[in-house]
Structure 1
């Protein structure tokens, strides 16, 4: 009886010009491993960068932006308060004096914090504020001293102080706010971007896995390779998880037109226009007939705030972007600004008619229907809307960061699983040729 020989293992084809199958499998497996590692590395790097940006937004950039807002608002409010206090009949009130000193204290604190985290350009602007603020306060104190002594030069010193504030100090503070706000928006947009490099590697990996399975199926005459199918499932799982997490993260971080960051900029500018208008309104009366320039500036700033004939203006722009939560405060601010304009016309009518005392009385009167009360309600409504949008910025950054929780560790594990699956898929096929 003839001896039955055991079937020999398949040997690698030695056909000239054709790569041996085992070597081809090794190269394909190595290529898949490299692509898997590259994709995992890119994904992990992207997630870590996003997480770093979001943490920086909530813990650094947003607080810096708020400090810049506080600096600007405190300085502008101090100027408006000093001018209003100068008009007070019977001497400066303790309330206005306390508000002025509180504004200076808040501005000094915000200045100190801002200097700690400022870049070179912002530092230069902050130094202008730091150097000129003592000059301003000195001029205001000189004006107060002259007023108490009944010396007419008090008004001139106050106008000089306000000129220094509005022409030098406030523009420098505004530049700091604009710069810090742009840095905040820039980081938001970076954290909201599409991970192009990760997407590119993921597409290459997906295509390579499909091609590898087709190659193995053709050469081994097996429809499916369990290892490569598992690797494909791991890749799909990673893709779905990352897409869901990143989509959730970017969905919580609203940027662009109508975003909280844009509303913060508009509302901050509205507050600036209102405070400077209030200062110029008082300075018009302090000048006693020589305040045409201040009145012109007041008109321009109020037009910037609420527009002209009910059209345009920062408050209208803010209303167009506001959600249901912010709309009531901004609507109140607009209504109070319009009421202020009407009351201001009565002040101007009295002053232009030669009754300066009546004009001052109207500008400094107490009561819910008086001009100061309208401005106070306007200022309070703007502050509430600004605070709400700053808070929303923080909440969005925290929520966006929370959506990425666990994604880095998940990518590391899934990448390791994909590499193992590729190895398990090719190892038995290569072993067939030994």
Structure 2
């Protein structure tokens, strides 16, 4: 039994013994995976690169060349940091600042001169034409009413006054249209509207005149329609046109009433740069004086003084033109318009046979305001508290005296009307004898026109003075600044050559 068991187990080294844990020999097919296999035999693979497959060989990376622009920039910066380079940069900055200051100062003065010429040739004449247009229209309406209340065939002087006022109105429309900016479509449309309505007005007046000559009562209705057209449509349009143009004159003059501060700043900066440049060269070279740079500094100082004097003088003339010319002219024109409205209402009341008592208080208030305004522009500064006088030829004094006579004549005419003396009221209102309302108003209106012309002359004289002050400035400033820039080049070039 035992022998049979031993025979079944077999002897050591048999084929079954290999499954019982025998150790394989080196090089066998079942060997460890770390051992070299028969395919490679431990030899390197043909064609393999050194260091491939986990080798430790050092890779050789090629160095890229630097970009040419960077090399040039680096070289330029290194040159700038040298003493000659810093001198060159400082000189270029000084030249640019000097030229910039001269160019800005010259262009500013040129702009102001161009503005003055435009104001004298276009803007102010349009404003004056607008003022003349309104006054002429009011005079025409007043003359038409006065001629009508005389009855029958009107006096020749009243007819001539009316026709002259209409002609002046037409001339003013043409003058204003020629001077207006083509982009100001609103003012152009207003002028066209006034011109069209003026033709309608003159037609109504002629119809009223024809009926009045044959004693047809319907004539007063036509004249009332004509006067209503003038007061409600034509005159408001003319007043709006005048307000716009006079405001334009004031705003334009006010814009240029300040000195050219920008030019002052740039020229002052140029002087400071030149002074710093000379001090830096002094510390660097030991030379205290650089003649060329000193001359350049003096030229820039001269440019600064020239610009300052021209700028302040022109600004002063502009400011005085605004305060002594434009403002008084505008105020007197408005008061003249108010007085003309009162005169038109005075004559229209007689045409309509309206009791003047209802409008007497308002009339007195308006004319009192006119008198107060005129008093401001008298010569007596201590009494008026105003240093602006328009009475050098006595125009304001004459206007005040005529206004007082006119107000007294109105009161007499009102008294005659309230007493039932309608014809007596007409004679006082339309009469041209001393003490009559018509004569007093004509004298007042002429004096007001003279005072307005004096204010206008002051405005135009001031503007022309400002224009002539800066007439030769731009060319001289450019020449001085150019010479100063050349002086910087002459002064700095020898110092740079010393380092080359």
When normalised by structure 1's length, the TM-score is: 0.89
Answering whether residue 90 of structure 2 is matched by residue 28 of structure 1, we say: yes
Give distance in 1, aligned partners of 2:301 and 2:410. 67
Partner of 1:234: 299
Once the two structures are superposed, residues 267-318 of structure 1 have per-residue CA deviations (whole angstroms, 9 ceiling, x without a partner) of 2112212222111111111111366676576445424423xxxxx4x32344
What is the number of equivalent residue pairs in this alignment? 414
Gaps of 5+ in 2: 1-77, 379-385
Answering whether residue 493 of structure 2 is matched by residue 431 of structure 1, we say: no
Work out whether residues 390 and 454 of structure 2, in 8 Å CA contact, stay in contact via their aligned partners in 1.
no
Give distance in 2, aligned partners of 1:81 and 1:269. 20
Work out whether residues 54 and 191 of structure 1, in 8 Å CA contact, stay in contact via their aligned partners in 2.
no
Partner of 1:391: 457
Partner of 1:48: 110
Gaps of 5+ in 1: 1-15, 307-311
Which residue of the other structure, out of 371, 375, 378, is the alignment partner of 1:316?
A: 375
> What SS is found at the alignment partner of 2:394?
helix
Q: CA deviation at 1:321?
A: 6.2
Q: CA deviation at 1:367?
A: 1.8
Which residue of the other structure, out of 40, 51, 72, is the alignment partner of 2:134?
A: 72
Give distance in 2, aligned partners of 1:282 and 1:260. 33
Q: CA deviation at 1:42?
A: 0.4
Distance of aligned partners of 1:128 and 1:296 in 2 relative to their CA distance in 1, 3 Å threshold: farther
Q: CA deviation at 1:195?
A: 0.9
Give distance in 2, aligned partners of 1:383 and 1:175. 20
Partner of 1:279: 344
Which residue of the other structure, out of 473, 480, 486, is the alignment partner of 1:407?
A: 473
Partner of 2:27: none
Answering whether residue 424 of structure 2 is matched by residue 358 of structure 1, we say: yes
Once the two structures are superposed, residues 64-87 of structure 1 have per-residue CA deviations (whole angstroms, 9 ceiling, x without a partner) of 122112211111110111111112
Which residue of the other structure, out of 78, 90, 115, is the alignment partner of 2:177?
A: 115
Q: CA deviation at 1:38?
A: 0.8
Give distance in 1, aligned partners of 2:432 and 2:375. 28
Q: CA deviation at 1:416?
A: 0.9
> Which range moves more in the overlay, 296-305 or 104-113?
296-305
| Aligned positions of 1:75-154 closer than 5 A | 75-118=137-180, 119-154=184-219
Give distance in 1, aligned partners of 2:483 and 2:159. 69
**Higher Cα radius of gyration:** 2
Once the two structures are superposed, residues 153-186 of structure 1 have per-residue CA deviations (whole angstroms, 9 ceiling, x without a partner) of 2222212211211121111111111211222222
RMSD: 2.3
> Which range moves more in the overlay, 167-176 or 292-301?
292-301
Work out whether residues 356 and 414 of structure 2, in 8 Å CA contact, stay in contact via their aligned partners in 1.
no
Answering whether residue 240 of structure 2 is matched by residue 175 of structure 1, we say: yes
> Which range moves more in the overlay, 215-224 or 117-126?
117-126
Q: CA deviation at 1:353?
A: 2.2
Give distance in 2, aligned partners of 1:219 and 1:87. 96
Which residue of the other structure, out of 380, 397, 403, is the alignment partner of 2:446?
A: 380
Once the two structures are superposed, residues 97-144 of structure 1 have per-residue CA deviations (whole angstroms, 9 ceiling, x without a partner) of 111111111111211221233222211321221221111112211211
Which residue of the other structure, out of 329, 332, 352, is the alignment partner of 1:267?
A: 332
> Which range moves more in the overlay, 424-433 or 142-151?
142-151
Give distance in 2, aligned partners of 1:284 and 1:144. 17
Give distance in 1, aligned partners of 2:226 and 2:366. 19
Give distance in 2, aligned partners of 1:412 and 1:17. 33
When normalised by structure 2's length, the TM-score is: 0.78
Give distance in 1, aligned partners of 2:194 and 2:365. 25
Work out whether residues 129 and 169 of structure 1, in 8 Å CA contact, stay in contact via their aligned partners in 2.
yes
> Which range moves more in the overlay, 294-303 or 368-377?
294-303
Give distance in 2, aligned partners of 1:256 and 1:116. 24
Higher relative contact order structure (alpha carbons within 8 Å, sequence separation ≥ 6): 1
Partner of 1:61: 123
Give distance in 1, aligned partners of 2:432 and 2:233. 32
Work out whether residues 366 and 372 of structure 1, in 8 Å CA contact, stay in contact via their aligned partners in 2.
yes
